[in-house]
Structure 1
Amino acid sequence: MKSMIKRLATCGLASWLLAAALPVVAQSVQITDARGSKVQLAKPPQRIVSLLPSLTESLCALGACERLVGVDRYSNWPAHTKTLTVVGGGLDPNIESIVALKPDLVLASMASRSLGRMEALSLKVVALEPRTYDEARVVLQKLGVLLNLPSAQGADRVWASIEADMAKAAASVPEKIRGQRVYFEASRGPFAAGENSFIGETLTQLHLRNVIEAKLGPFPRINPEYVVKLDPDILMAGKRSWSTGMPEYPGWAQMRAVKQGAICAFTPEQSDVLVRPGPRMAEGAQIIAQCLQRLAVKQGKSQ
Structure 2
Amino acid sequence: MRAPPPTALLVALLFQGSQAALPVFAADAPARPPTTAPAPARRIVSLQPSLTETLCALDACERLVAIDRYSDWPASVQPLPRVGGLADADIERILAALPDLVLLRPRNRVAERLKELGLNVLALDARSHADMRRNMEAVAQAIGRPGAGEALWARTDARLEALRQQLPAHWRGKRVYFELHGGVAAASEASFIGETLARLGLRNVVPASLGAFPKLGPEFALRADPDLLIVHDAPGMPPLQARPGWHAMRAVREGRTCRIAEPRFDVLVRPGPRLDEAAQEILACLAAVDRQTVGGR
**Shorter-chain TM-score category?**
0.7 to 0.9
Counterparts in 2 of 1:299 and 1:86: CA distance versus 1, 3 Å = same
Match of 1:74 in 2: 70
Query: What count of residue pairs does the alignment treat as equivalent?
Result: 275
| Secondary structure, aligned partner of 2:78 | helix
Unpaired runs of at least 5, structure 2: 1-20
Match of 2:186 in 1: 192
Matched, 1:231 2:262: no
Match of 2:167 in 1: 173
Counterparts in 2 of 1:247 and 1:274: CA distance versus 1, 3 Å = farther
CA distance in 1, matches of 2:131, 2:115: 24
Match of 2:114 in 1: 118
CA distance in 2, matches of 1:168, 1:133: 17
Matched, 1:144 2:134: no
Say whether the 8 Å CA contact 1:183–1:211 is kept in structure 2: yes
Matched, 1:92 2:75: no
Match of 1:44 in 2: 40
| Secondary structure, aligned partner of 1:86 | coil
CA distance in 2, matches of 1:149, 1:248: 51
For 1:127-276, what aligned pairs fall within 5 Å after superposition?
A: 127-151=123-147, 154-240=148-234, 243=237, 246=240, 248-276=242-270
Aligned-pair distance for 1:247? 6.1
Superimposed CA distance per residue, residues 177-218 of structure 1 (whole angstroms, 9 cap, x where no aligned partner)? 111111001322521001010000011011111000000011
Aligned-pair distance for 1:113? 1.4
Say whether the 8 Å CA contact 2:41–2:144 is kept in structure 1: no
Q: 1:63 aligns with which of 47, 59, 62?
A: 59
Using the TM superposition, name which of 33-42 and 264-273 deviates more. 33-42
Q: 1:296 aligns with which of 278, 290, 293?
A: 290
Say whether the 8 Å CA contact 1:191–1:222 is kept in structure 2: yes
Say whether the 8 Å CA contact 1:181–1:233 is kept in structure 2: yes
| Secondary structure, aligned partner of 2:126 | coil
Counterparts in 2 of 1:291 and 1:212: CA distance versus 1, 3 Å = same
- Of all paired residues, the percent bearing the same amino acid is 41
Say whether the 8 Å CA contact 2:49–2:70 is kept in structure 1: yes
Structure possessing the higher radius of gyration over alpha carbons? 1
Counterparts in 2 of 1:241 and 1:233: CA distance versus 1, 3 Å = farther
Superimposed CA distance per residue, residues 196-254 of structure 1 (whole angstroms, 9 cap, x where no aligned partner)? 10000011011111000000011111121111111111100121287357465322222
CA distance in 2, matches of 1:146, 1:94: 23
Q: 1:108 aligns with which of 104, 111, 128?
A: 104
Q: Compute the TM-score of the two structures, normalised by the length of structure 2.
A: 0.86
Counterparts in 2 of 1:87 and 1:54: CA distance versus 1, 3 Å = same
CA distance in 1, matches of 2:102, 2:249: 46
For 1:26-45, what aligned pairs fall within 5 Å after superposition?
A: 32-33=26-27, 35=29, 40=36, 42-45=38-41
Match of 2:50 in 1: 54
Aligned-pair distance for 1:298? 4.0
What amino acid sits opposite 1:182 in the alignment?
A: V
| Secondary structure, aligned partner of 1:268 | coil
CA distance in 2, matches of 1:47, 1:267: 33
Superposition CA RMSD, Å: 2.3
What amino acid sits opposite 1:65 in the alignment?
A: C
| Secondary structure, aligned partner of 1:117 | helix
Say whether the 8 Å CA contact 1:245–1:265 is kept in structure 2: no
Say whether the 8 Å CA contact 1:242–1:248 is kept in structure 2: no
